[in-house]
Structure 1
Amino acid sequence: MMETLAKIAFVVYTLLILGGGCIAVGAHSLVRAMVGLISSLLGVAGMYMLMAAPFMAFMQILIYVGAVCVLIFFAIMLTQADDHGVEAGSRRPGKSALAALTFIAPVFVIGFILIKFQPVSIHIPVEVPLIEIGKGLLEDYPVAFELISVVLLAAMAGAVLLAFEQKGKKGRKV
């Protein structure tokens, strides 16, 4: 019974990830694309829960959904785009086909690599204590841990830069 529920949850999270990715790639509006990104990231958090990694799921929601997506939304709102959105121009005929190819190609490449070069089974512990994850981040990989703050800083600086650039364009038209 539990195995069936886990398989159903896996399918639901997979559909959430793929559906959110399709929305993020194919949306006409930046806000709708961001909603697709959020649903995809929530699906990844669900996958972490299926792998019995609740801390990673919480960090996925806290950092990516909570911080990065809020900063992206802040940047979209600061640019004060017109009602139709900056990206509302006409679509080229091959854009949808190219988007689909870009979406599907990594699946085939990764699948080919996994089938052709199957890794030797490695003994992985069922649960890694949280203190070891913290030590690994702060002792072994402090640069990777600090890059998270650089990503957030770059997103915020980009939002402010876009806001000033849009404000300057509107000031010149008057």
Structure 2
Amino acid sequence: MEFAAKFLFVFYTIVIAVGGLAAALSSSLVRALVGLILTLFGVSGMYLLLNAPFVALMQLLIYVGAVVILIFFAIMLTRAPAGGEERKDRPIRKYLFALMGAVAPAFAFGWVIMTMAPTSSDKPDSVSAIQLGQGLMEPYILAFELISVVLLVAMSAAVLLAFKRRKSE
């Protein structure tokens, strides 16, 4: 059982890394969105490994099912270039800076975890969906509502910018 958990952890880590790289390195917005979807599926799998099936389901429903669709519609409404046209020579220096920007926090977090690792229990505490919902919604209800307003404003702004750009062309 422990081998299966370690194998799935490595598998989901690879899925997250491949999806993140696909999202970051793709010149097409739609392909980058597919990379984001792959990454979000990997994160959902990690939640399953943490014995949090409700959070994994919410990850799929909210992020993959709603936010990604919102981003997809924003891409389609703004009629951004499909990719390839704006591609220019990318010097190796940019890739090195990106690699350093990724490795530095990973190294710092790894060092902190290795030197100051907290004690862990064998089995995580089980939290019911009702307890989780009350824990998230009671003290943080205003934050959730503000996030939904910010998403609505961002989508509205994208649509307005797309229409203004179409009129000026």
TM-score normalised according to structure 1 size: 0.84
Seq. identity, %:
52
Q: Which amino acid aligns with 2:58?
A: M
Name the CA distance, whole Å, in 2 between partners of 1:79 and 1:4: 47
Q: Which amino acid aligns with 2:43?
A: V
Runs of 4+ in structure 1 deviating by more than 6 angstroms, as ranges, are: none
Q: Which residue of 2 is the match for residue 72 of structure 1? A: 71
User: 5+ unaligned residues in a row in structure 2: which ranges?
Assistant: none
Q: Which residue of 1 is the match for residue 25 of structure 2? A: 26
| Native 8 Å contact 1:13 1:44 kept in 2 | yes
Name the CA distance, whole Å, in 1 between partners of 2:4 and 2:116: 31
Q: CA deviation at 1:8?
A: 1.7
Q: Which residue of 2 is the match for residue 42 of structure 1? A: 41
SS at match of 2:80: coil
SS at match of 1:141: helix
Q: Which residue of 2 is the match for residue 98 of structure 1? A: 97
Q: CA deviation at 1:75?
A: 1.0
Higher relative contact order (CA 8 A, sep 6+): 1
Q: How does 1:132-171 map to 2 (within 5 A)?
A: 132-170=131-169
| Native 8 Å contact 1:78 1:162 kept in 2 | no
Q: CA deviation at 1:114?
A: 1.8
Q: CA deviation at 1:7?
A: 1.8
Deviations 1:34-63 (A, max 9, x none): 111111111000000111111100111111
CA RMSD of aligned residues (A): 2.4
Provide closer, same or farther for how the CA distance between residues 83 and 125 of structure 1 changes in structure 2, counting only shifts above 3 A.
Answer: closer
Provide closer, same or farther for how the CA distance between residues 8 and 161 of structure 1 changes in structure 2, counting only shifts above 3 A.
Answer: same
Q: Which residue of 1 is the match for residue 114 of structure 2? A: 115
Name the CA distance, whole Å, in 2 between partners of 1:151 and 1:124: 37
Name the CA distance, whole Å, in 2 between partners of 1:169 and 1:85: 24
> How many positions carry a matched residue from both structures?
169
